[in-house]
Structure formats: structure tokens, C-alpha cells
Amino acid sequence: MTSDTVPVVVDEVAPRYRGRVALVTGAASGIGAATACRLAAEGAQVVLADLDEAALEAAVAATGKAAGHGGGAEGVVLDVADETGWAALADRLNNGPGRLDLLHSNAAIAVIEPAGRLAVADWDRQLAVNLTATFLAVRSLVGLLERSSGSIVLTSSVHAVRGLPGRPAYAASKGALLSLSRQLAADYGPAVRVNTVVPGPIMSQAWDSVSEPDRERSIRATTLQRFGQPAEVAAVVAFLGSADASYVTGASLVVDGGWSVTADSA
């Protein structure tokens, strides 16, 4: 299975996001693109943010196609680690729809090297994109989210809770997101709920460089004996951000096909 074979379009969904505005980062691909499609299908006006302009254009088109119940899509080229980009995006939302109901902070990068060989610049960049970006997003947008009684969903990873070779900065950033989300939930409740989704092996372009034997090993390590699809994470993000999760905040929800409960998953 390759990332190309993964469907991101959903069939029948309830219009839980009709009249709502959602922002998804890392939305040009994988989990972010699937979440944008899911939210638009449920009626959201989705702002897709990513720094890959060409892929973003395609994802905006796919999201527009998936949209239903008054939903729609627009794209914003943004480096999530760039503070000035967040200020501009906050202005755009304040002067445009004037509301924000869901922030899905999802963009991430991974440089695979053990700590002894990882360049300091690569450590800094991973922390900036995977962790500091969420702080920048919240700093710029929490006023809008509070006014809309909105919600935040962060994308962490099973690497936050299990040590695997070669990902010190990635794992540290994903672990920090779990504590950051609890902290944000405490700071901004009751107006804003904050939760984290914790994916396991999800078939996206992130797996393109992984060998077939390693992919098969990952599949064998899941209780469900397969990769997850981005749409299966998107469904959980859409739940956490919706009124169906109205009493859920400060929580993390693992979406890993049982990878983290299977003994030989390392």
C-alpha cells in the first residue's frame, strides 16, 4: 500500500460543522488533508495552511469537492514556525469570518538521526515546526477561539509514549505537545476545549521512504494488522472538535490500531 492509494473523501457524515470555521495546518497532505476534507464535508469553512504551495492547491481543490452542508475551502501558504505568518493569518480571520471554531495544529517534520549525530539546526527546526508552532498559533488565535467557544486539537504521535531509534527531537516535541495540551486546556477552559490525537502508523507520504520489510513489520505490530488511513484520524479529530465531545478536554486519544498495546511494536 502506498500513500497514493489512500482515499480522503468521505461518504455520508452529519453536518456537525455547519456555519463553523476551521483551520488545519499541514493540510496539503496526509492526515491534515483528510481532516480538511472531513470537516468541509460536515459543513465547515476550512482554511488549509501549509508551506507546500503546489500540494496545497490540490488539497484545497479536493476539500472543495468533498464539501457539503455549506462547507468550503481556502488555502494559505504558511510556515507554521514563522511568527509573522501567524499574525497575518489572525488578521485575515479577524477581518474575514470573524470566528474560529476549530484549530487543528498538525504540521510536523521528522529528521531521523540519533542525538549524537543530529545537527543542532535540525533539532531546532523540528522543535520549531512540531512544538513552538502550536504556541504561536494559540498566541495569535486564542482570542478568536474564545469568542467562538471553539476547540483545539493537536496532533501528537505514539513516539511521545514509546522510545524508537533515531527520533530524539521528533519524540521530544510530540511528548511536549501532550503536556502543552493539558496546560492549554487548564488555561483556556471553560471557553476553549483542548485535546490531542495520538496517531500510530498512518499511511501517508511520511512512509514513502520506509522499506517494504519495515512497513510489514509495522503492520504486524498493530493489533488490527494494517496501517491506518488518514481519514481514520480525521474522523477522530472531527469528533474531538465537535459538540459530540463537549465534556472532553485535556484528553489524548490514541489512534494506532493497537500498535502501542502490542508487545513487539518496537
Ligand X SMILES: NC(=O)c1ccc[n+]([C@@H]2O[C@H](COP(=O)([O-])OP(=O)(O)OC[C@H]3O[C@@H](n4cnc5c(N)ncnc54)[C@H](O)[C@@H]3O)[C@@H](O)[C@H]2O)c1
Determine contact, residues 198/156, Cβ cutoff 8 Å.
yes
| Interface with ligand X, residue 199, by CB under 6 A | yes
Residue list 39-68, contact with ligand X (CB under 6 A): 50-52, 55
Q: How far apart are CA 256 and CA 158, in angstroms?
A: 8
How many CB atoms are closer than 10 A to CB 147?
Answer: 14
Specify the DSSP element, H or E, that contains 170.
helix 168-188
249, 193 in Cβ contact below 8 A?
Answer: yes
Question: Is residue 79 a contact point for ligand X (CB under 6 A)?
Answer: yes
Interface residues for ligand X in 207-236 (CB under 6 A)?
A: 230
Write the binding mask 153 to 192 for ligand X: x where contact by CB under 6 A, - elsewhere: --x-x-----------------------------------
Size of the site for ligand X (CB under 6 A): 29
The three cell numbers of residue 57 are 492547491
Q: Is 170 a catalytic residue?
A: yes
112 binds ligand X (CB under 6 A): no
Q: Of all residues in this chain, which one has the CB nearest to ligand X in the complex?
A: 30
> Which of residues 23, 40, 202, 231 is near ligand X by CB under 6 A?
202
HEC profile of 70-136: CCEEEEEECCCCCHHHHHHHHHHHHHCCCCCCEEEECCCCCCCCCCCCCCHHHHHHHHHHHHHHHHH
Active-site pick, 17, 170, 188, 247: 170
Question: Applying CB under 6 A, which residues contact ligand X?
Answer: 25-26, 28-32, 50-52, 55, 78-81, 106-109, 129, 155, 157, 199, 201-202, 204-206, 230
